[in-house]
């Protein structure tokens, strides 16, 4: 801790996600947090946010190459490292930061494969440092309301969950343009995206997954599917005829994307606007899983990444009734919906078609009773005010929380365990037992017990 009693932070990875942390440190939590520096392998993107910080907050912020992380942590007395870089870089950065004496806050997913998860857990156990994984969906009021209803026993003992998540042709398509499209980089959507959803189920049930069976494939995006439907693939979305292509992302259409990515391609050659129908995609866009939990509940999960609308539906069956959570985050993707591929969960959707209107509803129906709606109390800001609560827990420390929303290393590993086992199941065509995959859960649990005792 610095002499000013403010925790000293560096942020590694200056893509879209880092801005939330920058604003939190320099805004609401400036009295307890200090932003020491930004780091990125692309100096142009780091420079972009340095300019944003100076223009917004009137402060100058240092930047450095992530390759110099250990020296920077020790020389600058860094207390915590926030990692918002691509998923495949997490393990190296997490472990190096821990070894150098800093705690870590890492965006989900923790990492992309079992070996990397085990390595992180072993490093945490050896160093005694802390890793926080940011599962912001836990803080969304609608998801907390479902957690509360289950915990209060409103449907008795949970027997099964049906969970369907659909990503639309704006948001979902975007995973097939970026580094996520290569499974080695992201673990596929089962790890990168679905770890959010599996964490919700683990948290709702207060339980852990035991067995996973998965099926799915690349059925809409990619070169083969495009050829079958007579769609011509392009090198990239930023081109003269992009306006006629609903799947093209023209980086010039959005000032932020242009400033962050298009103008900085010279540094590393990274293209943010690859064509979703080009060759080389190795992740799936349609997925279905069956997951058995240790206390008997069964999860049926599906993910589709080319839906005409975005949202999710959860049905929780219990011995005394059923809970249903329906969420529509974007009711339709119309031709005018082009531009920046924004996650609709953090934006306003103006569609009001009565057949599918944006909104949320949590319904309880107990055996022998009529259905009735349970109240969801939203706050201000993204994800119904959930991001604000998450950031307060990160920067000020979690207070008393009856819902247990703050997530640590064990939670992070359990969330990716389903996706990692799901990927293995896709390869083998068989059920995969979580205990048969070395994920470092014993080391992570032991480290958590030691840290809790020390506190």
Tell me: the pLDDT tens digits for 52-100? 999 999 999 999 999 999 999 999 999 999 999 999 999 999 999 999 9
426-451: average pLDDT: 92
How confident is the model at residue 348, as a pLDDT? 57
Model pLDDT for residues 335-374, shown as the tens digit of each residue: 655 556 767 766 555 566 888 989 999 999 999 999 999 9
Mean pLDDT of 312-329: 98
Q: Per residue in 97-140, pLDDT tens?
A: 999 999 999 999 999 999 999 999 999 999 999 999 999 999 99
Mean pLDDT within 144-172? 97
DSSP-derived letter for residue 377 is: -
How many other CB atoms are there within 10 angstroms of residue 116's CB atom? 23
| Residue 452 pLDDT exceeds 80 | no
Q: Which two tokens stand for residue 424?
A: 């293995």
Distances (CA, A) of 108 to 88, 137, 178, 455: 11, 11, 17, 25
Please give the sequence-ordered ranges of beta strands (E in DSSP) within 131-261, or none if there are none.
131-134, 158-168, 209-217
Give the tokens for residue 249. Answer: 């992302």
As a whole number, the mean pLDDT across the chain is: 94
> What's the pLDDT score for residue 76?
97
Residue 1 reports pLDDT greater than 50:
no
pLDDT attached to residue 455: 60
Rounded CA Rg of the chain: 22
Between the two ends of the chain, the Cα-to-Cα distance in Å is 17
Which pLDDT does position 385 carry in this prediction? 77
Report yes or no: 110 and 117 within 8 Å, Cβ to Cβ.
yes
At 100, which helix (H) or strand (E)?
none
Distance CA 361, CA 117 (A): 36
Q: Check whether 394 has a pLDDT greater than 80.
A: yes
**pLDDT bucket at 184, cuts 50 / 70 / 90:** very high
Work out the average pLDDT over 208-227. Answer: 98
List C-alpha distances in Å: 235 to 34, 271, 275.
42, 10, 6
- Please write the tens of the pLDDT for every residue from 245-295: 999 999 999 999 999 999 999 999 999 999 999 999 999 999 999 999 999
**Quick one: how many helices (H) and strands (E) in the chain?**
16, 15
């Amino acid at each position: 801790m610095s002499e000013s009693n403010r925790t000293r932070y560096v942020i590694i990875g200056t893509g879209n996600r880092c801005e939330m942390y920058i604003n939190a440190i320099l805004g609401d939590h400036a009295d307890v947090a200090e932003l020491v520096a930004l780091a990125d392998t692309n100096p142009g993107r780091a420079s972009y946010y340095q300019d944003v910080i100076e223009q917004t907050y009137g402060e100058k912020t240092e930047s450095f190459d992530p390759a110099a992380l250990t020296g920077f942590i020790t020389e600058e007395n860094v207390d915590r490292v926030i990692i918002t870089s691509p998923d495949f870089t997490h393990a190296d950065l997490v472990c190096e930061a821990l070894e150098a004496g800093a705690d870590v806050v890492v965006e989900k997913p923790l990492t992309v494969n079992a070996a990397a998860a085990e390595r992180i857990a072993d490093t945490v156990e050896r160093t005694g440092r802390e890793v926080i994984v940011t599962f912001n969906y836990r803080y969304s009021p609608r998801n907390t309301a479902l957690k509360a209803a289950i915990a209060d026993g409103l449907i008795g003992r949970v027997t099964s969950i049906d969970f369907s998540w659909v990503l639309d042709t704006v948001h979902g398509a975007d995973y097939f343009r970026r580094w996520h499209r290569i499974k080695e980089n992201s673990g596929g959507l089962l790890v990168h995206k679905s770890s959010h959803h599996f964490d919700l189920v683990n948290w709702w049930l207060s339980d852990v997954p035991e067995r996973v069976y998965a099926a799915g494939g690349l059925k809409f995006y990619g070169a083969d599917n495009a050829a079958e439907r007579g769609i011509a693939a392009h090198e990239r979305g930023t081109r003269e005829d992009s306006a006629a292509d609903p799947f093209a992302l023209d980086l010039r259409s959005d000032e932020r994307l242009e400033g962050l990515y298009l103008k900085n391609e010279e540094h590393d050659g990274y293209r943010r606007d690859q064509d979703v129908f080009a060759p080389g995609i190795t992740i799936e866009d349609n997925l279905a899983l069956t997951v058995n939990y240790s206390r008997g509940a069964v999860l049926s999960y599906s993910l589709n990444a080319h839906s005409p609308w975005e949202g999710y539906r959860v049905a929780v069956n219990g011995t005394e009734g059923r809970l249903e959570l329906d969420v529509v985050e974007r009711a339709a993707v119309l031709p005018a919906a082009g531009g920046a591929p924004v996650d609709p969960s953090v934006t306003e959707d103006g569609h009001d078609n009565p057949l599918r209107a944006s909104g949320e509803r949590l319904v309880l129906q107990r055996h022998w009773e009529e259905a009735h709606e349970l109240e969801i109390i939203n706050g201000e800001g993204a994800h119904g005010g959930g991001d604000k609560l998450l950031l307060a827990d990160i920067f000020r420390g979690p207070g008393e929380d009856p819902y247990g929303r703050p997530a640590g290393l064990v939670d992070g590993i359990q969330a990716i365990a389903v996706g990692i086992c799901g990927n293995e199941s896709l390869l083998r065509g068989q059920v995969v037992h979580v205990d048969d995959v070395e994920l470092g859960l014993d080391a992570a649990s032991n480290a958590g017990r030691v840290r809790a005792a020390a506190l």
